[in-house]
Amino acid sequence: MEDPFRPTVDIIASSLSLERVGYIFTSLNQEKTFLTGDQVKTIAALQQEHSVDHPCGPKVSKFITVRVEQ
């Protein structure tokens, strides 16, 4: 699912000399829930989009993904 606020977040972050570094998934469901396939694909795409070369050689992501459940 696309985040309709992503362009606004990027504008605000940029104006503060910051950058978006993560993605948060939340759930109000009290039962045990898992990320959907589409959410996992979005996470993977964002991790890949924000990967950098580590000084030791491998590519690593500088993007953080958090899942929050109430």
pLDDT tens string 36-68: 888 888 888 888 888 888 888 888 888 888 777
Domain range for 42 is 6-69
- Rounded Cα distance between 68 and 66, Å, is 6
| C-alpha separations of 20 from 5, 15, 42, 55 in Å | 12, 12, 15, 22
Residue 1 domain-assigned?
no
Residue 25 domain-assigned?
yes
Residue 22 domain-assigned?
yes
- Residue 55 has a pLDDT of 82
- Rounded Cα distance between 25 and 40, Å, is 11
- Residue 10 has a pLDDT of 86
30 has a pLDDT exceeding 70: no
What is the number of structural domains in the chain?
1
- Residue 15 has a pLDDT of 92
pTM here?
0.54
